[in-house]
Amino acid sequence: MIFETHAHYDDECFTEDQDALIKSMPEKGIGRIINVGSSIESTKTTLELAKKYDYVYAAVGVHPSDIDGLNEDTFAWLKEQTAWEKTVAIGEIGLDYYWDKEPEVQERQREWFRRQMELAREVNLPVIIHSRDAAEDTMRLMKEIHAQEIPGVIHCYSYSKEMAQEFIKMGYYIGVGGVVTFKNAKKLKETVEAIPLERILLETDCPYMAPEPHRGTRNDSSNIPYVIAKIAELKQVSEAEVERVTEQNARTLFRKVR
């Protein structure tokens, strides 16, 4: 089966056909889906989806661009949600300097990234990290807090292959989605060639990042076979092998998934 490690089916562009779409996934070979929270509000809707569909699991967390919703009360609520059997990760958390350039905002991003990483350590869950235009600070902060003790994935990986090796040395997985099929995605293709298949997770980040030949349209997990085909080509292995190994990787990282 295909293990989809990063979806946002609670996004408003799925409102009209959300139920039919999610129900159609198993017959399209998508056996497990992690829906990922990115704010307090979307963590709530993520938990609802995981309650409704047995093959959908929840990641709870607040994205760097949504930290305005975090305070001691909401952070305590977030922690409570980690105890549920279908909460399998803390995410997505991290740093995004592409959208936020102000130093004090970036400082607050680092503070909440750090606290959510510490939460993951405390409750013994893996993390799903979003990092954009913030490679150095992400790595520095992860080293400071000994992130090698907190398993996780760098989702929608966008940095160099050298940096990927650094993350892998810390025990991290590399999330690969539709971007790998883009013509201009030289860096990501080099990264996929350079790292072991045993360190790659499949993801969509849907509704975003639809792979070729559907680039620019609403994405969903049924597009993952295009990503698998590209990875198989780059690694010179069969598509079945990519599907099998990445499922195993996801099950190793997200231990609470049945």
Indicate the residue whose CB is closest to Ni ion.
205
Q: Among residues 10 and 205, whose Cβ is nearest to Ni ion?
A: 205
Q: Among residues 144 and 167, whose Cβ is nearest to Ni ion?
A: 167
Of the ranges 75-83, 117-125, 133-141, 199-207, which one interacts with Ni ion (CB under 5 A)? 199-207
Minimum separation from the CB atom of position 92 to Ni ion (A):
5
Minimum separation from the CB atom of position 8 to Ni ion (A):
6
Q: How far apart are CA 250 and CA 3, in angstroms?
A: 7
Q: What is the residue whose two structure tokens read 């709870």?
A: 60
10 binds Ni ion (CB under 5 A): no
Position 256: which residue type? Answer: K
Q: Among residues 66 and 205, whose Cβ is nearest to Ni ion?
A: 205
Minimum separation from the CB atom of position 34 to Ni ion (A):
10
Backbone angles phi, psi at 19, to 5 degrees: -65, -50
220 binds Ni ion (CB under 5 A): no
Terminal CA-CA length for the chain: 13
Q: How far apart are CA 105 and CA 118, in angstroms?
A: 20
- Cα 160 to chain centroid distance, Å, stands at 18
Q: What is the residue whose two structure tokens read 């980040």?
A: 205
205 binds Ni ion (CB under 5 A): yes
Q: Among residues 18 and 165, whose Cβ is nearest to Ni ion?
A: 18
Is residue 154 a contact partner of residue 177, using CB atoms and an 8 Å limit? no
Which stretches of the chain bind Ni ion, using CB under 5 A? 205
